[in-house]
Amino acid sequence: MKICVPKETKERENRVALTPTVVKQLVQAGYEVFIEQSAGLKSYFDDANYAEAGASIVADTRKIYSDADVVLKVNAPNAEEVSWMKKEAILISFMFAATNKDIVDACVNAGISSFSMDAVPRISRAQKMDALSSQANLAGYKAVLMAANEIGKILPMMTTAAGTIRPTKMVIFGAGVAGLQAIATAKRLGAVVEVSDIRPETKEQVESLGGKFIEMKGDDSVKMEGGYVKGVSDEFLKKQQELVAKHVKEADIVITTALIPGRKAPVLVTEEMVKSMRFGSVILDMAVESGGNVVGSEVNKTIVKDGVTIIGESNIPSLLPMNASDLYAKNIQTLLVHLSTKDEFKWEMEEDITKGSLIVHQGKAVHPSVLNN
């Protein structure tokens, strides 16, 4: 099979779907790999690195799509790029299909099959394919550094001859993969960390990392599926806001990480909360691209509102492209090898990982998330 990797074209995207190390492993396993010229440059992998690993370098973007048996990408291609793919070819990338009808329709019209990296089920044997987690882990780390860079003070307590500097107080919303990594990073840097999460079972993880859990009693409106929050009532969110308002008011830094797949991100930090914070405080909204957890955050902008700096970076993993590409490449390689041999796809339609991640099959939409729309 011809595995083809086009250049990423989405704005602010620095990652690439395969790294030279993973290319070498795929070539050794019998796959043919083709990389679009300069596809890895923003991740600090040049064409010579790929050629040495056994890939062929292709200069023509359209050709990289039209020749492919399998296209591997980070972000889904646009409708025109999908139309270049030959019938019954296969696309593997992030698709977020439930909220991206255009790409699903393009795959159907082109008669191709598509697997979505964000739809890989959260089961133990799929952990090495879990690109959402690998990228969120890096994002949680980087988010703390970005917020620390904006705040006008150091994070740890420091005793000097001139007096003692009190540690920075940080409030983190969400103790998922990104939130837990943010807690660990903030604690290593010496901050005092408080954490809010609507799932009481995360308390133990938070405390094991040295964070203080802001405890809130759950209710029946919190819907869970596969480890993700799938739904929560407006009334419950209001109660959560009221509980954490005091903690936000006293915080130097607030980081929000809460996402609900297929839905707009829940509002966690209201305009009143922002106004209550000290002049010079910092908020980083990791959910800004999905509507934002913070009232007033703006996509890909850092703004100052009521004396508070609000960071709205939409693609934090892309700011660490070497590591992010390396982890993503291993995720997508593991999925590819699970789904196929070097010669063909297995199409085990009732197998959990295949069934969970397959969005379109040979021009027909098959995933529940798009069938119900």
Per DSSP, the residues of 68-121 read -SEEEEEEPP-HHHHHTSPTT-EEEEE--GGG-HHHHHHHHHHT-EEEEGGGS-
CA distance 248 to 251: 5
Task: Tell me the average pLDDT across 307-321.
Answer: 97
> From edge to edge, which strands make up the β-sheet containing 32-36?
56-58, 32-36, 2-5, 70-75, 90-94, 113-116, 358-361, 364-365
Candidate from 103-112, 195-204, 293-302 with smallest mean pLDDT? 195-204
Inter-axis angle of helices 177-188 and 131-150, nearest 10: 40
* Tokens of residue 186, six digits: 């903030």
Reported confidence tier of residue 221, pLDDT bands at 50, 70, 90 = low
pLDDT value at residue 65: 98
With beta carbons less than 8 A apart as the criterion, state whether 120 and 328 touch.
no
Kindly state the DSSP code that residue 53 receives in the 8-state scheme: H
Task: Tell me the average pLDDT across 342-371.
Answer: 95
pTM confidence score: 0.92
With beta carbons less than 8 A apart as the criterion, state whether 373 and 101 touch.
yes
54: exposed, middle or buried (Cβ count in 10 Å: 0-12, 13-18, 19+): middle
pLDDT value at residue 219: 58
pLDDT value at residue 167: 96
Please compute, for residue 230, the number of CA atoms within 13 A of its CA located in the half-sphere on the CB side: 8
- Cα first-last separation, the chain: 33
* Domains, in order of start, for the chain: 2-119+320-364 (3.40.50.720), 139-319 (3.40.50.720)
Reported confidence tier of residue 225, pLDDT bands at 50, 70, 90 = low
Q: Which stretch of DSSP H or E encloses residue 172?
A: strand 169-173
Q: Which stretch of DSSP H or E encloses residue 223?
A: strand 223-225
* Tokens of residue 227, six digits: 């480890």
- Enzyme catalytic residues: 122, 127, 130, 133, 228
CA distance 88 to 104: 15
* Tokens of residue 172, six digits: 């983190």
**Of 94, 101, 115, the residue nearest 317 (C-alpha):** 94
Task: Tell me the average pLDDT across 165-177.
Answer: 96
